Amino acid sequence: MELILKQDVENLGFKDDIVTVKNGYGRNFLIPAGSAILATTSAKKVLAENLKQRAYKEAKVVGEAKEIAEALKALDVKITAKTGVGTKLFGSVNNINLAEALAKEGQNIDKKFISVIGGSVKRTGKYNSVIRLHREVSVDLEFEVVAQAD
């Protein structure tokens, strides 16, 4: 079943992509949730026209995303967390904590666009994450988890 995505869908595609999915997934999940529409001939023509009109606007958005990416690369992000014995944390550090740390630095990035490599962090040290700013622009950000001073 061919569908046109109306919004970004994790592990499937981005907005306005034409994707092929199994019939049940499209009919029972994507279409009722408003995430996709059927890719009929007329819908494909409308999509092509919209993409033409949006192409020049897209260049400006990509430029802004690249500027934010350069600003993020310059940041030195440190997240403080309570620790137990040795380097083990009480709880964990994940994309939510990283989004809060970036907000303190002046970069407001939604937590759903941040993925910490390896999932949640449970020990102090240096770790990597990937921040997706645009479908064409993503940045690798290194951050450090440090023990909270008593």
The ranges assigned to domains in the chain are 2-59, 68-147
Containing 4, the helix (H) or strand (E) segment is strand 2-5
User: DSSP label at 9?
Assistant: B
Q: What is the mean pLDDT of each run of 10 residues along the chain (150 residues)?
A: 93 92 95 94 93 84 90 90 87 91 90 89 92 90 87
pLDDT score recorded for residue 150: 65
pLDDT score recorded for residue 84: 85
pTM: 0.64
Exposed/middle/buried for residue 78 (C-beta within 10 Å: 0-12, 13-18, 19+): exposed
Containing 49, the helix (H) or strand (E) segment is helix 41-74
**Residues of 50-62 as b/e, b for ≥16 C-beta within 10 angstroms?**
eeeeeeeeeeeee
- What does residue 123 show for φ and ψ, rounded to 5 degrees? -140, 155
pLDDT score recorded for residue 86: 83
- Rounded Cα–Cα distance for residues 94 and 87 (Å): 16
68-147 CATH pick, 3.40.50.1820, 3.30.390.30, 3.30.70.260, 3.10.430.100: 3.10.430.100
2-59 CATH pick, 3.40.50.10420, 1.20.120.530, 1.10.10.10, 3.40.5.10: 3.40.5.10
- Rounded Cα–Cα distance for residues 4 and 13 (Å): 10
Closest to 64 measured CA to CA, from 11, 96, 107: 107
